[in-house]
Amino acid sequence: MLYLIGLGLSYESDITVRGLQIVKQCKRVYLEAYTSILMAADQDSLEKFYGREVILADRELVETGSDDILANSQEDDIAFLVVGDPFGATTHTDLIIRARELGIKVEAIHNASVMNAVGACGLQLYNFGQTVSMVFFTETWKPDSFYNKVMENRRIGLHTLLLLDIKVKEQSIENMARGRLIYEPPRYMDISTACQQLLEVEELRGEQAYTPDTPCVAVSRLGSPTQSFKAGTLRELAKYDSGEPLHSLIMLGRQVHELEMDYLYAYTDKKEEFKQAVLADQEFFKPPPPVFEEEEFSD
């Protein structure tokens, strides 16, 4: 049996009781180590907490070596640990499909994910549209497929959760060209980089999916002792020092409920300016007022 086990967001003890029982009974335990990281734990502390070896599974192993992970799992129980919830990233459905093809039973043990824990900032999960990802731009590669999705969300007034790039085990172009297996230190996109890239794309596209004055919320280190939120315009957050990773960004949609606003005021020291930015932003994508036909009365 293959068990996909969500670890939650922060501490080794965030695993569920059932998840922990299964980890203890499994033959091999893998930790998916490239789509997210725990805020207050790492491989060592997990090994101590579980009292057993944890094998790091990098992208290469999961994407091209999945048969190694799945070896003998018709007879043995294998645990595949995922930070957050196993379905909080698109990556793991491949592994499940491969397991099914091999006739291996699969079970998921769920946990908190960034996808639902962002509700802690006070914006209602029900008011979110499509989640998008933003990758680090290079001089020659600035993928902007998120732009159309943000536009679609904002057209119908919904908030957008932007998940920010993580680069682990990346080789520099030079090392790659020379065939040297030397990896760069891990990189995690911060809030100011994400906002600057958003502004750069709007400048290029010019379709006003958003503007520099569009209100956003920076979400940092969710679920950890240093969790923090910051509300401000895109222009302001482009200069914000968000500190240690991980970070996510939320761009507001037009449908901001009064209670959401009241909650967000705690994350800005410029309450009135933030309120005005939200009101001004609500003018974008506003549906035209309905035109009612004059009723005809006859007797």
Ligand X SMILES: C[S@@+](CC[C@H](N)C(=O)[O-])C[C@H]1O[C@@H](n2cnc3c(N)ncnc32)[C@H](O)[C@@H]1O
Distance CA(18)–CA(270), nearest Å, equals: 45
Instruction: Using DSSP, state whether 12 is helix, strand or coil.
Output: helix
Of 213, 103, 200, 93, the C-alpha closest to 143 is 200
Distance CA(226)–CA(235), nearest Å, equals: 24
Q: Does 248 bind ligand X (CB under 6 A)?
A: yes
Do the beta carbons of residue 143 and residue 41 sit within 8 Å? no
Least distance from C-beta 96 to ligand X, angstroms?
A: 14
Tokens 């502004």 locate to 199
Spatial neighbors of 187 by CB under 8 A, at least 6 apart, are 136, 165, 166, 167, 170
Annotated ligand binding at 164? The verdict is yes
b/e 32-54 (16+ beta carbons within 10 angstroms → b): bbbbbbbbbbeeeebeebbeeeb
In this chain, which stretch among 15-23, 113-121, 229-237, 274-282 interacts with ligand X, using CB under 6 A?
A: 113-121
Annotated ligand binding at 222? The verdict is yes
Annotated ligand binding at 157? The verdict is no
Q: Does 35 bind ligand X (CB under 6 A)?
A: yes
Instruction: Tell me which DSSP letter residue 230 carries.
Output: E
The residue (of 115 and 254) whose beta carbon lies closer to ligand X is: 115
Least distance from C-beta 230 to ligand X, angstroms?
A: 12
Annotated ligand binding at 262? The verdict is no
Q: Does 41 bind ligand X (CB under 6 A)?
A: no
Q: Which of residues 215-234 bind ligand X (CB under 6 A)?
A: 219, 221-223
Least distance from C-beta 145 to ligand X, angstroms?
A: 15
Could you list the residues known to form a binding site for S-adenosyl-L-methionine, using ranges.
9, 85, 88, 113-114, 164, 222, 247
> In the complex, which residues of this chain contact ligand X (CB under 6 A)?
9, 35-36, 39, 82-85, 88-89, 113-115, 163-164, 166, 219, 221-223, 246-248
